[in-house]
């Protein structure tokens, strides 16, 4: 299968994806092989169901939100390989100053994390959205009162303009001391 999938991906496409995302050619070929193995319909696109067959996503409490992020890139019910790679690029470790032109800057990683909480896509995180994500993450392990308290305290501490919502700018400020580059990086095969 690896040989078949690498033959379908043209050298020109590999070079374009490499320039845009910063992945090496061997990483792109390996990720393309993984992409095609997930593509059960063999049409060059992944559906939400294809993503949810990934065991790590199926058991991840934020799996639906992570899958949703892939589809924000496409504005469709399917994701092609280039869109798939653009999302994965946000998780590529930052190695050099050359990476500043790629899709894995600190701001890109923070924007991705912010969108995990911004359920309605209005560029604000409301208390209800924060509660919904907290529910996804902890399930029934914490009482409603405790979750409400966590959400209230978070909004109070992060909401500098006092509109009872967290903007992206407020989110960035709250994350100043967090090593986002480390926490939002996945080592991809070389």
**Predicted confidence (pLDDT) per residue in 3-28, tens digit:** 344 447 899 999 999 998 889 999 99
Q: What's the rounded Cα separation, in Å, for the pair 54 and 83?
A: 18
Cα–chain-centroid distance for residue 179? 16
Go through the domains of the chain in sequence order and give each one's CATH number. 11-93 (1.10.238.10), 106-180 (1.10.238.10)
**DSSP one-letter code for 10:** -
Q: What's the rounded Cα separation, in Å, for the pair 72 and 135?
A: 22
**Against a cut of 0.75, is the pTM above it?**
yes
**What pLDDT does residue 6 have?**
40
Q: Where are the alpha helices (DSSP H) in 39-167?
A: 48-52, 55-59, 63-72, 81-89, 106-117, 127-138, 144-158
CA–CA distances in Å: residue 140 to residues 61, 118, 143, 166, 189: 12, 22, 7, 25, 36
**What pLDDT does residue 154 have?**
95
**What pLDDT does residue 96 have?**
57
Length of the chain: 190
**What pLDDT does residue 100 have?**
54
List CB contacts of 75: < 8 A, sequence separation 6 or more.
Answer: none
Q: Which residues of the chain have pLDDT under 70?
A: 1-7, 73-74, 95-102, 187-190
Q: What's the rounded Cα separation, in Å, for the pair 178 and 171?
A: 11
């Amino acid at each position: 299968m690896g040989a078949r999938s690498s033959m379908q991906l043209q050298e020109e496409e590999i070079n374009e994806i490499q320039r845009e995302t910063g992945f090496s050619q061997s990483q792109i070929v390996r990720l393309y092989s993984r992409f095609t193995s997930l593509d059960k319909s063999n049409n060059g696109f992944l559906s939400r169901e294809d993503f949810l067959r990934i065991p790590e996503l199926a058991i991840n409490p934020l799996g639906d939100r992570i899958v949703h992020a892939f589809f924000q890139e496409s504005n469709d019910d399917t994701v092609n390989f280039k869109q798939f790679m653009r999302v994965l690029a946000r998780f590529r470790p930052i190695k050099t100053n050359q990476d500043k032109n790629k899709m894995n800057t600190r701001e890109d990683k923070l924007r991705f994390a912010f969108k995990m909480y911004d359920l309605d896509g209005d560029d604000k995180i409301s208390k209800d959205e924060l509660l919904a994500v907290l529910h996804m993450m902890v399930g029934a392990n914490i009482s409603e009162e405790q979750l409400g308290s966590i959400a209230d305290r978070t909004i109070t501490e992060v909401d500098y303009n006092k509109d009872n919502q967290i903007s992206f700018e407020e989110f960035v400020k709250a994350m100043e001391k967090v090593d986002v580059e480390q926490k939002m990086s996945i080592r991809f095969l070389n």
